[in-house]
Amino acid sequence: MIGSSGTKEVIMQDEIIANILKSANLSVTASRKKILNLFLSTNGALAHADIEQEADEKMDRITIYRTLQAFVQKGIIHIIPTTDNSIRYALCKDECSEGHHHDQHVHFVCSECHTTYCLEQINVPHVKLPSGFTESQTEVIINGLCAKCHA
């Protein structure tokens, strides 16, 4: 049996997930595994609402809020601000740790399918500020059409 849904693969994936949680000093619970699994099997970013829908019953709104909060704080996921005032989250691929994020890449939101991409390969440009102003973090959010939606 070859494929990504074999029993062995599921077990391995399950261990990978447990290890990520342990490394972040978070206890391994069903809700956290489920949410982290969702992130690992999605290439774009996820909003709170997406997770609430995916989660087949049996998970409280509040648990999702607290799980996302914990993941952000521990450096597992980062927040992606969007122009439509809806926060999205994506896995950190850089070396982020508790309280220290280093996700200095550009984000892209497709106006058609609303998928949000981390353009990991594109660093945020440096902007020269007026005198007296100092930068601590720069966010670049690009709206447009993604490769899939391009006619």
Partner DNA sequence: ACAACTTTGCAACAAAGTTGCAAAACAATG
Partner DNA sequence: CATTGTTTTGCAACTTTGTTGCAAAGTTGT
From the annotation, which residues make up the binding site?
101, 103, 110, 113, 146, 149
Q: Which does 132 bind (CB under 5 to 8 A by kind): DNA, its own copies, Zn ion, none?
A: its own copies
* Residue 77 in contact with Zn ion, rule: CB under 5 A: no
Residues 42, 91: Cα–Cα separation, whole Å? 10
Q: Per the structure block, which two tokens stand in for 119?
A: 């353009």
Q: Of 9 and 94, which has the nearer Cβ to its own copies?
A: 94
Binding residues for DNA, rule: CB under 7 A, are: 22, 26-32, 48-49, 58-63, 65-67, 70, 85, 87
Q: Which does 61 bind (CB under 5 to 8 A by kind): its own copies, Zn ion, DNA, none?
A: DNA
The DSSP code sequence of 32-79 is HHHHHHHHHT-SS-EEHHHHHHHS-S---HHHHHHHHHHHHHTTSEEE
